[in-house]
Structure 1
Amino acid sequence: MENEKKIESYVVVHNIAKRHNVGTLARSATAFGVSELILVGRRDFNAFGSHGSTSHVRFRHFHSLSDAKNFLKERDCDICGVEITENAMAVNQHPFKRSTAFLLGNEGTGLSAKECEICDFFVYIPQYGCGTASLNVTVAASIVLHHFGAWAEFPERSREGNKYVVAERPTKQGKRNYCMESAESIAEERKLKKENASNGFFDEIGKEESPSNLLDTLFAG
């Protein structure tokens, strides 16, 4: 582990089929010390299942996976795909080296080829029972984030009775369930809209994935 630098974890939300899973992901993210939850494509999200935890984790928005990748690489962060691939390592082996962003696949189809391309390595969650082929994306996220937190030696939160102590809710910033950005980011978005007027403002989406179709695909269900 690199003791000289602060170890951080991120969750990248790109192609989650059920929108309410984002709220539950946020709850797991706050429980296991995630620094930021990164939304790719669509800004708004459903906070169902978050139990107020969305106020305690930072949301950041990017138009494309490559933009998200560039942001993470600037922070010396590995990108880990949570998927059973030929070279995937068991998450309980803790194959981590530095700050890591976790990209989880769609509940039905897993990680797409485009998503796999930005990953530096892959982990999978060993299963021991015979009753299901895969886990719900929020359950998988909880297991993986817990393992990373244990490896990174994140300090355990203090407890009161049979519950963990919840911090005071930060001052509310921006619109509810909507990822706000800085003036600089908004200016960049306007620029992208003009440059990509024919294909919408998702700069890496091909013509076969129009913005209207993408919005239905990203958070359908």
Structure 2
Amino acid sequence: MGEYESYVVIHNIAKRHNVGTLARSATAFGVSEVILVGRRDFNAFGGHGSTSYLRFRHFHSLFDARNFLKERDCDICGIEITDGAMAVNQHPFQKSTSFLLGNEGTGLSPKECEICDFFVYIPQYGFGTASLNVTVAAFIVLHHFGVWAGFSERIREGNKFIVAERPAKQGKRNYCTETEECIAGERKSRRENASNGFFDGSGNEDSCSNLLDALFTE
């Protein structure tokens, strides 16, 4: 893709159809990986097959996801209308960046804000709505990052972009699989960092919010 990479972190999105649509945008705008925080399974409704072209990675906690991204020298950018946020059309990026989107109703939580290095917002010029749908916000921000990073435009044919050959199916559909070594490492990290406040201290690795239950399929 080039010198820079982009990532999308999915943690607290409430509406299940938004995940597949986010995956479609991630594919269109050259995202390297989609990071799931919480449960491993996901709903691909609205993705139109785009999830087959994406790499998914799973973490139990925001803390572990942050560590992974920092090991790759990646900034974490919160997409939120907040004090200190910079307009996305100013392209305030400096290196590879991971984008964390807020919940549709409540925005980014305090714990999500804690792991962010900076924030961007999308300027609006009309007066009929307070904010954009989370998937629309993702479209705009990922496109701006691709322009800034100098991603190469995909080849077109007629009135469509050419879609690559679908990769061979690997693992369970709509489920993020990992090696035993990776899972063991995450469990160790959870035990060592149980006091940092980034995940449920109950010791239940499958615990998640009601919002995540609404997001992911059984």
Q: TM-score, normalised by structure 1?
A: 0.88
Deviations 1:122-150 (A, max 9, x none): 00000111111111111100000000000
Correspondence for 2:26: 29
Equivalent pair of 1:15/1:219 in contact (CA under 8 Å): no
Give the unaligned 5+ runs of structure 2: none
User: Which residue number corresponds to residue 200 of structure 2?
Assistant: 205
1:217 aligns with one of 206, 211, 216: 211
Which residue is equivalent to 2:142?
145
Alpha carbons of structure 1 residues 62 and 163: separation in structure 2 relative to 1, 3 Å: same
Residues 206 and 81 (structure 1), Cα distance of their counterparts in 2 relative to 1, 3 Å cut: same
- Name the structure 1 match of 2:104: 107
Whole-angstrom CA distance in 1 between matches of 2:125 and 2:198: 42
> How many pairs were matched up?
211
Q: Distance in 2 between matches of 1:156 and 1:35?
A: 15
TM-score (norm 2): 0.89
> How many Å separate the matches in 2 of 1:187 and 1:213?
17
Cα deviation, residue 106, structure 1:
0.1
Unaligned stretches of 5+ residues in structure 1: none
Cα separation, 1, equivalents of 2:90 and 2:124? 14
Equivalences for 1:13-24 in 2 at 5 Å? Answer: 13-24=10-21
User: RMSD of the TM alignment (CA)?
Assistant: 2.3
Q: Does 1:162 align with 2:159?
A: yes
- The answer to whether the 8 A contact 1:10-1:100 is kept is yes
The answer to whether the 8 A contact 1:42-1:215 is kept is no
> Mapping of 1:1-221 within 5 angstroms?
6-188=3-185, 204-206=199-201, 214-220=208-214
Q: Is the 8 A contact 1:18 1:219 kept in 2?
A: no
Q: Which piece of structure 1 moves more, 117-126 or 128-137?
A: 128-137
> Which has the higher relative contact order, 1 or 2, with Cα contacts under 8 A spaced 6 or more apart?
2
Contact 2:39 2:208 in 1 (8 A): no
Q: Is the 8 A contact 1:60 1:179 kept in 2?
A: yes
Aligned equivalents of 2:93, 2:129: Cα separation in 1: 27
Distance 1:103 1:124 in 2: 12
- Give distance in 1, aligned partners of 2:142 and 2:168: 26
Partners of 2:120 and 2:188 in 1: CA distance: 37
